[in-house]
Amino acid sequence: MKPVRAIILGYGIRGRAYAAYAKTHPDEFEIAGLADPVAEFPADATYPTWKSWEAALDAGVEADAVVISLPDRLHHKSCLKALEKGYHVLLEKPIGCTWQECVDIAEAQKRTKRLVLTGYVLRYAPFYKKLREVIASGAIGELTSVHHLAAISYGKAAHAYCRGNWSVEEKGTGMLVNKCTHDFDLIEWWTKGKRCKKITSFGSLMHWRPENKPAGATDRCKDCPESVREKCPFDAYKIYYDRTDLRYHFADESDEAILNMIEKSPYGRCVYACGNDSVDHQTVLMEYDGGLTIILEMESYSQQRTRITHFYGTRGEIIADEHKIEILPFLGDSTTIIPQQHGHHGGGDREIMTEFVKLVRTASPERYSAVLDAALESHRIAFLAEESSSISWMNHKECGRKGKKTMEAYAVLETGGKQVLVKVGDKIEIEKLSVEAGQDAELTTVLAVSDGTTLKVGKPYVEGAKVVLSVAGVVKDDKVYNFKAKRRKGSRRLVGHRQQLTVATVKAIA
Ligand SMILES: NC(=O)c1ccc[n+]([C@@H]2O[C@H](COP(=O)([O-])OP(=O)(O)OC[C@H]3O[C@@H](n4cnc5c(N)ncnc54)[C@H](O)[C@@H]3O)[C@@H](O)[C@H]2O)c1
């Protein structure tokens, strides 16, 4: 059988990883061309090369497929064009930077009846295949909850999500869509057949912010005083020069090139001066059919770069940590499985190519649609998680915005010596105000106010903020009793009090 011929768009880290398959499996995969504006192409290339993905797709080269390993923001346009040209596509995740972009690609896939396989390499890795097999075998009964930690490690997180390509959400997608689509994909796969019904998420950029910059630190590590650098774990020299595990991100890994890169490139910037807004930690809570609950936690400040998952079932537990799978049944002996792993992403980079070639060669248009639909499901959950503070399940069309946390406006009001959290429309009872029923009351004792995205906290009150109440009347609270007894005087007194409360509706928060 002839090898599958593919044009690779974007010859960076991922593009090179996919291209390597052509060397190790020449009967399966052949490079039909490479496109990249800056990358150095292999000196022995016998195929055409271009400076842009558009030029590559316009060249009319004979090929079966296109591998899209371009920056996130170029996935949508390039995938649509590749499909319209009749190519099958191996598309790096995320499928699109917004849900609408994903929907566009799904529609184009159905129209053109081509394959779009998403770069979810982990589900092809032997470790995760084995884990899925153990869960599906029923070894721990029915799953009741899953706690999944995606620990990025402080070095990798500083590299990619603070200094690097994914530091500013507007340039691509939110952290959950970019980084955690792998995790959402695994969760979808582990819970196959069940559907996520509810989702909510919390997270923020807590630490890599300008206000946390140490005294005396400068905007680039090369200018930073030694006394400040030595106390900083994120110092570029420690991350790229003293250690070597992140050097694979650069075309030239020599000491000299790394020092030059720290001096001149964005990767030599102080982590507190990168203009980044990507969250550094986020938690997602999900409820699936039948009551299964799942917690996904993304954490930047971990020592190790790993994923640790704890599965609880009606007949036991499984603990998996990317190295070993511990099965702890309630009846019978515990076992530990250590799957064989070799290659990048635990062998997933190689195995996904094997699957891609197989699908291009043998699958039907119905199968192609099913493959993309499965990947869309996890994207949909990731977009919803980005968007949600607490929302129920929504369908394709309803999930439209990306990356913005859209909460309702609220204020924390101080009144009658108490703090009350209020939102517009809330009906509240507060200590009596001297305002007649039917009148409005404007309270300026606002301790904090949020418009849904930005929180302002006062010292103690937020200047210029107010909460407008529409007063309905006055009621009496439940009776409170005060009993006083004086032992030697034989006096016993029981006093009752009903506090008068103003009943009001929150009309506006400004
Ligand atoms: N599946 C995974 O596990 C995984 C891991 C990392 C990254 N990714 C995804 O893979 C994609 C690529 O990431 P990467 O780490 O290889 O990034 P990268 O920056 O190393 O590679 C991207 C390449 O695209 C090239 N490029 C930019 N504009 C171009 C254009 N107009 N035409 C042709 N080429 C162009 C760049 O020069 C660069 O070489 C991203 O979407 C990323 O989110 C997936």
Residue 184 burial (10 A CB sphere; 0-12, 13-18, 19+): buried
Nearest C-alpha neighbor of 152 from the set 301, 270, 345, 343:
301
Ligand 1 center–CA 16 separation, angstroms? 10
pTM for the whole structure = 0.77
- Of all atoms in ligand 1, which is nearest to the CA of residue 11? 39
State the Cα–Cα distance between residues 53 and 78, nearest whole angstrom.
7
Q: Are strands 316-320 and 325-329 parallel, antiparallel or unpaired?
A: antiparallel
Our mutation pick for probing the ligand 1 site, out of 11, 69, 95, counting the most ligand atoms within 8 A of Cβ, is 69
Report the chain's C-alpha Rg in angstroms.
Answer: 29
The CATH superfamily assigned to 4-120+342-371 is NAD(P)-binding Rossmann-like Domain (3.40.50.720)
Core vs surface per residue 206-218: b (16+ CB within 10 A) or e: eebbeeebeeebe
What DSSP line would sit under 486-509, residue for residue? ETTTTEEEEEEE--EEEEEEEEEE
3-state SS assignment for residue 419: strand
Q: What is the largest CA-CA distance in the chain?
A: 108
> d(Cα 256, Cα 1) in Å, to the nearest integer?
46
Atom 11 of ligand 1: nearest residue by CA position: 69
* Atom 38 in ligand 1: residue holding the nearest Cα: 12
pLDDT score recorded for residue 275: 95
Q: Cα(100) to centroid of ligand 1, in Å? A: 21
CA of 208 to the centre of ligand 1 (A): 24
Q: Output DSSP code: residue 478.
A: P
**121 Cα nearest atom in ligand 1:** 1
Site to probe by mutation for ligand 1, drawn from 7, 8, 13, 73 as the one with most ligand atoms within 8 Å of Cβ, is 13
* CA of residue 486 to ligand 1 center, whole Å: 81
Please report which helix (H) or strand (E) contains residue 397, including its range.
Answer: none
Which residues belong to CATH 3.40.50.720 in the chain? 4-120+342-371
Write the residue with the smallest CA distance to atom 40 of ligand 1: 71
CA distance 17 to 39: 14
C-alpha 162/C-alpha 99 separation (Å) is 24
Nearest CA to ligand 1 atom 19: 12
Closest-lying ligand 1 atom to the alpha carbon of residue 52:
32
Nearest residue by C-alpha to atom 30 in ligand 1: 52
Nearest CA to ligand 1 atom 21: 12
- Closest approach atom of ligand 1 to CA 120: 1
Residues with CB under 6 A from ligand 1: 9-15, 35-39, 52-53, 69-72, 74, 92-93, 119, 121, 165, 178, 345
- The secondary structure element, H or E, covering residue 279 is none
Atom number of ligand 1 nearest to Cα 345 = 3
CA angle in degrees (0–180, nearest 5) for 137-139-144: 100
Separation between Cα atoms, residue 320 and residue 138, nearest integer Å? 16
- Please give the average pLDDT of every successive group of 10 residues along the chain, which has 510 residues: 96 96 97 96 95 97 97 97 98 95 96 97 95 96 98 97 92 88 94 88 93 97 97 98 93 94 97 95 94 97 97 98 97 95 87 97 92 92 78 41 55 88 89 91 91 79 93 84 76 81 92
Q: Whose CA is nearest to atom 7 of ligand 1?
A: 14
The per-residue pLDDT for 141 is 97
